[in-house]
Structure 1
């Protein structure tokens, strides 16, 4: 069976702070800002909790990406693109294994740089009871394993649509694991 080519499955944005984001036909990424028209776009943090603590904090969560394989893996839950608040749903790239600073080329022009893992908040259980436990599991050593996607900043402008190719560019030098942002 041939290897599946990495691709964008879906794109989403919302101009209000809500849990899920509606899917749209395309999104435009703006360098150093995020998804045009999305409530989380901005040079400084737009996350309500983090903005209260320090409104000048750089926005390392401009774009949220989740791999569609996660949805296939959530036994007992039905989740579709955009429902976990992500802007970009991909298939064919193990996002959670990428190192800090990896760049994803999305479509013809857009580039995002991975800044860390998303740590889901308890509002996920309000969406579907028990879902948080399915998104943060533990490994054999008892360490938390987060599966709720990765966060990124926009490194190059571009428009993204479902079906666009995804290309991974690893950073040079030491490959650092992702922390939580």
Structure 2
């Protein structure tokens, strides 16, 4: 059964050499039920709110299967929260999720897949692996950001069900790695029809992809 393996939120703010000066990437699993509101898990924060968090990136999900892939490559454990994720899932193809699809978590929470995670320098410093940002991007397993459609309470072990999936077929991973002009056209058509509105971050990337294909 596809499920939530861990729910993670900030453990402590840490000093960081980036422009913000601090980071909230240190996420760790929490026990018991956790409330999820429109800005994500209660008691979680983001230090760099220009690039993380907010209504369109309220929750970051990463699959255990992808974490295990990295563990094999790096020869180290990739524990829940190490990548800064809020949801560590099991049996959910997070990077293969179709942009705009909706998940039901447990009995009441509904989330919508909005855009891929773009690795940043803070993530690179967190991992301490040479060329990490480039290596992470090259593997095409970025994980997904989600917005909160219906708030509520969830806990580790709760089922994750896909309850709606757009027919444009463009996944988080395919957009992150390829950004094909045909996919951009399909996404834009879904957005303009009102069937599956895209978040601003996706619209910006569509414009770049379409312009570069001309």
* Distance (Å, rounded) in 2 between the aligned partners of 1:118 and 1:79: 17
**Residue of structure 2 equivalent to 1:135:** 136
2:170 maps to 1:176:
yes
Give how far 1:27 is off.
2.1
Q: Point out where structure 1 has 5 or more consecutive residues left out of the alignment.
A: 41-45, 52-56, 139-144
| Secondary structure class of the residue paired with 1:65 | strand
Task: Looking at secondary structure, tell me which structure has more strand per residue.
Answer: 1
**Residue of structure 2 equivalent to 1:27:** 34
Task: Looking at secondary structure, tell me which structure has more helix per residue.
Answer: 2
The answer on whether the counterparts of 1:106 and 1:167 sit within 8 Å (CA) in structure 2 is yes
**Residue of structure 1 equivalent to 2:147:** 153
| Length-normalised TM-score, structure 2 | 0.66
| Secondary structure class of the residue paired with 2:36 | strand
| Length-normalised TM-score, structure 1 | 0.77
| Secondary structure class of the residue paired with 1:89 | strand
The answer on whether the counterparts of 2:95 and 2:171 sit within 8 Å (CA) in structure 1 is no
* Distance (Å, rounded) in 2 between the aligned partners of 1:12 and 1:158: 16
Corresponding residue to 1:162 among 143, 146, 156: 156
The 5-angstrom pairing of residues 84-123 of structure 1 reads: 84-123=83-122
Q: Judging changes above 3 Å, is the alpha-carbon distance between structure 1 residues 99 and 172 closer, same or farther for their aligned structure 2 residues?
A: closer
Q: Judging changes above 3 Å, is the alpha-carbon distance between structure 1 residues 114 and 24 closer, same or farther for their aligned structure 2 residues?
A: same
Total equivalences in the alignment: 159
* Distance (Å, rounded) in 2 between the aligned partners of 1:127 and 1:47: 15
| Secondary structure class of the residue paired with 2:27 | coil
Give how far 1:165 is off.
0.6
Give how far 1:50 is off.
4.1
Alpha-carbon deviations, 1:129-173, whole Å to 9, x = none?
Answer: 1343442116xxxxxx2x231000111112121111110123344
* Distance (Å, rounded) in 2 between the aligned partners of 1:27 and 1:58: 18
The 5-angstrom pairing of residues 69-84 of structure 1 reads: 69-74=65-70, 75-76=73-74, 77-84=76-83
* Distance (Å, rounded) in 1 between the aligned partners of 2:167 and 2:64: 29
Give how far 1:58 is off.
6.2
**Residue of structure 1 equivalent to 2:43:** 37
CA RMSD for the aligned pairs?
A: 2.4
Per mean C-alpha deviation after superposition, the further-off stretch among 5-14 and 121-130 is: 121-130
